[in-house]
Structure 1
Amino acid sequence: MSGFDSNPFADPVDVNPFQDASVTQATSKVTENVGEFNPFSAVDMVHHSETTIPISAASSQPAVLQTSVEQSPQATAAAAQAKLIKQQEELERKAAELDRKEQDLQNRTETGRTNTGAKENNWPPLPKFFPFKPFIYQNFEEDIPEEYRRICKRMYYLWMFHSVTLFLNLLACLAYFTADTAAYGVDFGLSILWFILFTPVAFICWYRPVYKAFRSDSSFSFFFFFFVFFFQVAVYIIQTVGIPGWGNSGWISSISMIGKNLSVAVVMMVVAGFFTVNAVLGVILLKMVHSKYRRTGASFTKAQQEFSEGVLTNRSVQTAAASAATSAAQGAFGRSQGN
């Protein structure tokens, strides 16, 4: 009943949990066992060495240092220097290649020169037993820069296609002539004339000028080519149309033969297709050459200067001018003596 005799409103008795007999006994034993800990004592060192964590228990992954995304100024300078060194090596390699090509060109030039000191002609490539010899020197690899080499070769192929077309036109007009000898004799005769005349004239008047223009970057050669080749494209268009009586197997002439002779009409239509291809290729190549010409820095002023220098330095022109001046002076002196 003592529990009921206590006053519930009295102050609670302070109870110290550490004053319990069992707690006091346990803490006293721990204090005796631990004692004073000296981390530098030999026993403790041996104890800690025996309890070292084995290597296998540690992580085997290497530590990775995260690099910074932004490069330092030293790294940027080193990268720029490496880039400059690479560019310099590339330029040196190209210079060595150009020197090698120049040396090869010089060697070939020295071995290929005739007694007069000029390069040996190699076009047209005729056999040695042929009575005629090549009369023009032509070498795309040596004469034409690499950036103009392709367009220059295309102009050469256009000239060859032009020549083949004129020859086929001659055969078509021959078939045209056999269908009616009385009416189409003029066309056959003119087709022979066009083949004989326009094949060499095209080579001399527009192919060689464009070859010289790309070889020596000549403004005068460019302007001469544009002037002549523009008319050549116009001739291609006329030949494609095929006006009767003009010696061209164009579309009008070939279509007019369908009702008379179908086989001849088919042959003439094939030639008309060739003329059409010539006209289309002529327009395309004219634009391509003009685009290349604008990059060379050529101008009409340079063309005039080149023409005047060429005329003044030409020996034939100088001789003719000197002869004319001498004749004029002698005539004037004779008239003065007569008076």
Structure 2
Amino acid sequence: MWVCFSFILQDPSVTQVTTSSAEPVDQYSPFPQSNDGLATQTTPYQPAVLQPSTEPSPQASAAAAQANLLRQQEELERKAAELDRRELELKSRGSTGKENNWPPLPKSFPIKPCFYQDFSEEIPTEYQRVCKMMYYLWMFNCVTLFLNLLACLAYFTTDATYGVDFGLSILWLILFTPCSFLCWYRPVYKAFRTDSSFSFFFFFFVFFCQVVIFIIQSVGIPKWGNSGWISAFTIIGTNKAVGAIMIIVAILFTICAVISVILLKMVHSMYRRTGASFQKAQQEFSQGVFTNKTFQTAAAGAASSAAQGAMRGNN
């Protein structure tokens, strides 16, 4: 038996197992060691800690909302002020989109220019001469009305019964100076600028009345506030100085009447070459009325009132 056991121990496979340098099973560790030879340390257990709530309080939320509303209100007010400023600027520039330059007033003056006027830029070359002559006629008429006031004042100093002429001369100066500019000079300026048939017809109607007024002023009917020929010859026998002044004013009124007739014929001849017509004037007038905001608002209000009245009648 001992012989058999010795024979088994001498077997190469048994010898290899018994002489192997492998570590015993009880010394085997399933966790790998670190490169520096130190064992891996496990993270110690830490208990969970409750974080405090980050939601704002109701008072803080209300304060933030109020501050946001105030900021939005300030922004809206700033935008509204900017819009108002732009609207005023557009109004000051008029329909042409350019800054008004007439009347030419100083920048420090409280009243700003109301119109934009530039013959070389807005009026065609073939119409500039006539348009300028109409402008010079308006200025000449204003000077004549002022001199008429002085002549009527001198007339009033010689005879107190002619105080009505002096009062009416003040009225004519205040009334005709702006009305003549707006009622016949600006329409003819616009007619030449835009080739507007309606502006031409409006000018012809008003300027014809102006020619009649020039003739009446040059005649000088007493107690009508005009230093014309009749009034001048009436006073020249008693006061030659006042009569001479009134004759000069009568000559100026006569010049205004003659020039106005000539310019009326010149404008009419140019009007016939522009291709304007009464039908175009009607179309321009209807388009201007129906596109006018005031007319649209009034029409909408009238329609609404009529509808409400009909509903009340049905009820």
State TM-score, norm by structure 1.
Answer: 0.65
Between the aligned partners of 1:204 and 1:139, the Cα distance in structure 2 is: 16
Question: Quick one: which of 296, 300, 303 aligns to 1:318?
Answer: 296
Q: Are the structure 2 counterparts of residues 167 and 115 from structure 1 closer, same or farther at C-alpha, using a change threshold of 3 Å?
A: closer
Residues 280-332 of structure 1: per-residue CA shift (max 9 Å, x gap): 00000000000100000000000000000111111111111010111111111
- Aligned pairs for 1:272-287 within 5 A: 272-287=250-265
- In the alignment, does 2:111 pair up with 1:136? no
- In the alignment, does 2:277 pair up with 1:299? yes
Given that 1:236 and 1:278 are in contact with CA atoms closer than 8 Å, whether structure 2 keeps it comes out as: yes
- Give the drift of 1:127: 1.3
How many pairs align?
224
Counterpart in 2 of 1:180? Answer: 159
Counterpart in 1 of 2:287? Answer: 309
Question: Quick one: which of 198, 204, 220 aligns to 1:220?
Answer: 198
Question: Quick one: which of 132, 151, 171 aligns to 1:153?
Answer: 132
Counterpart in 1 of 2:231? Answer: 253
Provide structure 1 residue ranges, at least 5 long, that are not aligned to the other structure.
Answer: 1-112
- Give the drift of 1:115: 4.7
Residues 94-117 of structure 1: per-residue CA shift (max 9 Å, x gap): xxxxxxxxxxxxxxxxxxx98537
Question: Quick one: which of 178, 195, 209 aligns to 1:200?
Answer: 178
Between the aligned partners of 2:110 and 2:281, the Cα distance in structure 1 is: 39
Q: Which SS does the other structure have where 2:152 is aligned?
A: helix
Counterpart in 2 of 1:48? Answer: none
Residues 161-205 of structure 1: per-residue CA shift (max 9 Å, x gap): 010000000000000000111x10000000000000000000000
Between the aligned partners of 1:153 and 1:115, the Cα distance in structure 2 is: 28
Provide structure 2 residue ranges, at least 5 long, that are not aligned to the other structure.
Answer: 1-86
Query: Which amino acid letter does the alignment assign opposite residue 229 of structure 1?
Result: F
Between the aligned partners of 2:163 and 2:125, the Cα distance in structure 1 is: 48
Between the aligned partners of 2:266 and 2:234, the Cα distance in structure 1 is: 36
Query: Which amino acid letter does the alignment assign opposite residue 301 of structure 1?
Result: Q
- Aligned pairs for 1:97-176 within 5 A: 115-116=89-90, 118-176=97-155
Query: Which amino acid letter does the alignment assign opposite residue 183 of structure 2?
Result: C
Kindly report the root-mean-square deviation, in angstroms, between the aligned alpha carbons of the 2 structures.
1.3
Between the aligned partners of 1:271 and 1:336, the Cα distance in structure 2 is: 69
Between the aligned partners of 2:89 and 2:288, the Cα distance in structure 1 is: 25
- Give the drift of 1:264: 0.4
- Give the drift of 1:128: 1.7
Query: Which amino acid letter does the alignment assign opposite residue 139 of structure 1?
Result: D
State TM-score, norm by structure 2.
Answer: 0.70
- Aligned pairs for 1:233-244 within 5 A: 233-244=211-222
- In the alignment, does 2:305 pair up with 1:334? no
Given that 1:114 and 1:120 are in contact with CA atoms closer than 8 Å, whether structure 2 keeps it comes out as: no
Q: Which SS does the other structure have where 1:253 is aligned?
A: helix
Q: Which SS does the other structure have where 1:134 is aligned?
A: coil
- Aligned pairs for 1:25-64 within 5 A: none
Between the aligned partners of 2:213 and 2:244, the Cα distance in structure 1 is: 22
Query: Which amino acid letter does the alignment assign opposite residue 231 of structure 2?
Result: S
Between the aligned partners of 1:328 and 1:173, the Cα distance in structure 2 is: 55
Between the aligned partners of 2:113 and 2:288, the Cα distance in structure 1 is: 26
- Give the drift of 1:129: 2.1
Q: Are the structure 2 counterparts of residues 142 and 227 from structure 1 closer, same or farther at C-alpha, using a change threshold of 3 Å?
A: same
